[in-house]
Amino acid sequence: MLKVLERTHHQAEPVASSFLVDQVAALLCYDPSVRSGAQDASDAMNAAAGRVWSALGDRRLFNRAAVDGLRAELAWLTESLAPLSHLQHPHTTQGSAYQAAYDRALAALESERYFRLVADLQQFCSAPPVRQPRRRHLYGG
């Protein structure tokens, strides 16, 4: 039975890692458009960050200690982008609110914290710290 569990665990690793790489790439692909003020890009980047956050939360696959810091930083990023995503009309009476949300998002994307998060995500994707399956010992009696 242990061999079956190990095989399932190792089969899931490439799929999860591939999904994670794709979502990190999506997150980064929206960066230039968010910087230029596109609300739909902010929404898409926020969604991609949420998918990365969720994928990292698979405690059966990834080492918890290795992902907790990344998940906290992704939460910070989504909080920084959220106000820009939620505004409906940037060029009407909400213009000053839009400008404040845009300034906040831009400050986050230009921060050292963001660049460190990107580097950490890329490093994580290149060598994901996969959790080792528990080995059960069966004792005959």
Q: How far apart are CA 112 and CA 97, in angstroms?
A: 25
pLDDT at residue number 12: 46
Question: Phi/psi at 87 (nearest 5 deg)?
Answer: -75, 140
Digit-coded pLDDT (tens) for 7-28? 444 444 666 678 899 999 999 9
Q: Average model confidence (pLDDT) for the chain?
A: 82
Q: Reply yes or no on whether the pLDDT at 2 is more than 90.
A: no
pLDDT at residue number 138: 59
Whether 48 contacts 30, CB under 8 Å: yes
